[in-house]
Chain A
């Protein structure tokens, strides 16, 4: 129950919490103590070195963790959940769909691709205007445009789905 699989910048780390202040990460042992400062901020001491950490929850499995000048997106599953997810992955037909979401609020200035157009990773999909700048939104994957969910001139919020690529 106390074993977790943490996904961090596309890497997986196995953490097991043995007792109140002992943990194993990928098999290596660490002593720790965690205390809450206030709000979402904590002090974590690991093997006599201390860190100031602020965590923002994004659902029960995802966190944004800020420490040492970095904000890291983390996905965490218990070992059981991970196992289930792996089983599902194996039975899944190879068929991946990527939804391009707006990284910030703004206005769609120009859409550069059409539905069913083939695209390469890094291709410019659209221009999003925000903070008086024209921001080039590029595709993180290669594939085919399945659907365009917005129109030119439309205002979008952060996280608004823009295009679907398969």
Chain B
């Protein structure tokens, strides 16, 4: 029986787990760093504990601090969320050794899937199709060039310990190889602590399809259908939906069976996701298995009615799955949009700062999983995800209509967000009709962004607004004529340069 869970995470996922704990009558213990003093999870948890400086290695990624705290406060279990320690087999082993329940798979399963090359060879053995390429790390640039020639350019160079779009690069020709090799190695070492890299054939215009699986410690395996996550920027998902509009029931049978195979191959228990690349002919290849809860898990929850986080906790306690495969069916359609603090107009660079105003959408069929409020800080230390909006309706079109209006209801000021960029995607004919692949944003949408020679209605309102403010400031005497004079003199000085 789990009585207290330490949540070793932050942001929206910490909030999501706290909510599950509360509904289960379990005490939730949150942790926070200097940068997260004003984040929502610290307010909603039954208990919150300060664990150190903003730098993740001093707080959310400090193994000793987290395990010591769990012991000190008598937490029976640790939920890692996603990112940070979620797929760190050493951490999981340390938790297991400390006699604390890890809410996730065993350290062994995580290790088997954690290294991409080992996972690829494990899948190959278990007749799960993999993308052509190496199943071992590259030893040298020379070897890499040789193999790339064999499988044919373009190829993808990827970090063996990678994920989340980091440590990955497309190489078009031999002359780009060495530079990319060094860059991916550098990024891999920084982000994952290992500089091992491997090669995969680059699949043209694939879709990203993934299957949610869940299993208990008694050997029961169930899938919760697929999600489509092809709308990505910088190789990171921003829009996800379930079910996929690209998949027919025959293909669904194949991919879900493959996913169950993959999970069985690593003796998996708890919630996990098998990611696949699917080409135009609906051939599919194993990409990786994420041995954790995923950012986009809510879309699956909406169409199946299963609470994945509660189920994770129940499985960790040693219970059997609360449902069987035959009880599950797809009900309706769900779409998620990720609201990031980033500037789509400037290569999606993260935007940091204090949130001056935060208002989120609501209403029928709209679910928000958020982690911040007015006054919270978006810092440079962590992922800039602010909030997720999940819309649910009887079919895809209904869910899209809800998303269009929900995105309009957000008001987030103080940091630049991608809300307007997302809204634009939900107006594209190709997106509405389900014609896209993982390169859709880079290839199509970014070019379609209006360069905007005409003044838009929004710009017009913004112009009027600032003129009114300026006028009020002048009438309140804040800007005197003499000050205007000073400004003019300043310009005159500048011209002498």
Determine whether B488 belongs to the interface, using a CB cutoff of 8 Å to chain A: yes
Given contacts A34-B465, A104-B351, contact A81 B487 (CB under 8 A): yes
Structural contact, A81 and B488, CB atoms closer than 8 A: yes
Q: How large is the interface on A (under 10, 10 to 19, 20 to 34, 35 or more residues)?
A: 35 or more
Given contacts A32-B464, A84-B488, whether A76 and B350 have CB atoms under 8 Å apart is no
Question: How many angstroms from the CA of A67 to the CA of B357 in the assembled complex?
Answer: 11
Closest-by-CB residue of A relative to B381 is A131
Contact status of A69 and B453, CB under 8 A, knowing A76-B470, A135-B349: no
Known A131-B383, A132-B191, A136-B347: A74·B356 in contact at CB below 8 Å: no
Which residues of A32-77 are within 8 A (CB) of B? 32, 34, 39-42, 44, 46, 51-56, 60-61, 63-72, 74, 76
User: Is B49 interfacial (CB-CB < 8 Å)?
Assistant: no
A134 contacts partner chain B, Cβ-Cβ < 8 Å? yes
Asked if A8 is an interface residue, CB under 8 A from chain B, the answer is yes
- The chain B residue with its CB closest to the CB of A57 is B469
B412 CB within 8 Å of chain A: yes
Interface pair B346/A25, CB less than 8 Å apart: no
Q: Is the CB of B467 within 8 A of A56?
A: no
Q: Which residues of B contact A56 (CB under 8 A)?
A: 356, 413-414
- Mask, A115-139, CB within 8 Å of B = 1, is 0000000000000011111111010
Using CB atoms, name the residue of chain A closest to B351: A104
Is A150 an interface residue when CB atoms closer than 8 A count as contact?
A: no
Contact between A132 and B413 (Cβ–Cβ < 8 Å)?
no
Is A163 in contact with chain B by the CB < 8 A criterion? no
Q: Which of B380, B455, B459 contacts A104 (CB 8 A)?
A: B380
List CB contacts (< 8 Å) of B168-198 with chain A: 183, 186-187, 190-191
Provide the residues of chain B in CB contact with A44, threshold 8 Å. Answer: 461, 464-465, 468
Asked if B462 lies at the interface with its beta carbon under 8 angstroms from chain A, I say: yes
Beta-carbon nearest neighbor of A158 in chain B: B352
Spot the interface stretch: B108-116, B124-132, B259-267, B416-424: B416-424
Q: Smallest CB-CB separation from A60: which chain B residue?
A: B479
The CA-CA distance from A8 to B416 in the complex, in Å, is 16
| A81 near B484: Cβ-Cβ < 8 Å | yes
Complex contact B467–A39 (CB within 8 A): no
B383 touches A68 (CB 8 A): no
Does B466 make an interface contact (CB < 8 A)? yes
- A108 at interface (Cβ–Cβ under 8 A)? no
Taking the closest CB of chain A, its distance from the CB of B316, in whole angstroms, is 29
Q: B320 at the A/B interface (Cβ < 8 Å)? A: no
Q: How far is the CA of A14 from the CA of B349 in the complex (A)?
A: 32
Q: Which residues of B contact A67 (CB under 8 A)?
A: 411, 458, 461-462, 465
Are A6's CB and B383's CB within 8 A?
A: no
Q: Are B464 and A30 in touch, CB under 8 angstroms?
A: yes
Alpha-carbon gap, A1 to B383, bound state (A): 46
**Does B384 reach chain A (CB closer than 8 Å)?**
yes
B420 near A70 (CB under 8 angstroms)?
Answer: yes
Query: Which residues of chain A have C-beta atoms less than 8 A from B455's C-beta?
Result: 8, 11, 13, 26
Q: Per-position contact with B for A20-34: 1 when CB-CB < 8 Å, else 0?
A: 000101100010101
Do the beta carbons of A70 and B458 come within 8 Å of each other? yes
Closest CB of chain B to A162's CB: distance in Å?
A: 14
A90 shortest CB reach to chain B, Å: 10
What is the distance, in angstroms, from B235's C-beta to the closest C-beta of chain A? 11
Interface residue from A23, A52, A54, A132 paired with B166 (Cβ < 8 Å)? A132
Q: How far is the CB of A40 from chain B (nearest CB, A)?
A: 6
Q: Is B65 an interface residue (CB 8 A)?
A: no
CB A27 to nearest CB in B, in angstroms, measures 13
Cβ contacts B309-353/A at 8 Å (1 or 0 each) = 000000000000000000000000000000000010011011110
Q: Mask for B349-367, Cβ within 8 A of A = 1, else 0?
A: 1111000110100000000
Q: Does B218 contact A (CB under 8 A)?
A: no
Q: A4, B190: Cβ atoms under 8 Å?
A: no
CB B425 to nearest CB in A, in angstroms, measures 12
Contact (A2, B359) CB under 8 Å given A55-B466, A70-B420, A78-B484: no
Do A71 and B416 have beta carbons less than 8 Å apart?
Answer: yes
Please tell me if B69 contacts chain A, counting CB pairs below 8 Å: no
Interface set, chain B 146-166, CB cutoff 8 A to A: 166
Enumerate chain B residues within 8 angstroms of A76, measured Cβ to Cβ: 466-467, 470
B463 within 8 A of A: yes
B179: min CB distance to chain A, Å: 11
A76 CA to B465 CA, complexed, in Å:
11
Give the CA-CA distance A68 to B412 in the complex, in Å: 9
**Chain B 444-464: CB-based contact to A (< 8 A → 1; otherwise 0):** 000000001101001111111
What chain A residues lie within 8 Å of B432 (beta carbons)? none
Supply 18 A–B pairs (Cβ within 8 Å), ascending by A. A6-B462, A11-B453, A23-B467, A34-B465, A41-B413, A44-B461, A53-B465, A56-B356, A60-B473, A67-B458, A67-B462, A69-B420, A71-B415, A71-B417, A72-B459, A103-B349, A131-B350, A133-B166
Chain A contact residues, CB within 8 Å of chain B: 1-2, 4, 6, 8-9, 11, 13, 15-17, 23, 25-26, 30, 32, 34, 39-42, 44, 46, 51-56, 60-61, 63-72, 74, 76, 78, 80-81, 84-85, 88, 91-92, 103-106, 109, 129-136, 138, 158
Further contacts, 15 of them, CB under 8 A, given A16-B467, A64-B413, A132-B191: A4-B470, A8-B459, A42-B465, A52-B359, A53-B462, A54-B413, A65-B465, A68-B408, A69-B419, A69-B423, A76-B467, A80-B484, A88-B495, A104-B380, A131-B384
5 closest A-B pairs by beta carbon, nearest first, are A69-B419, A54-B413, A66-B413, A15-B467, A6-B463
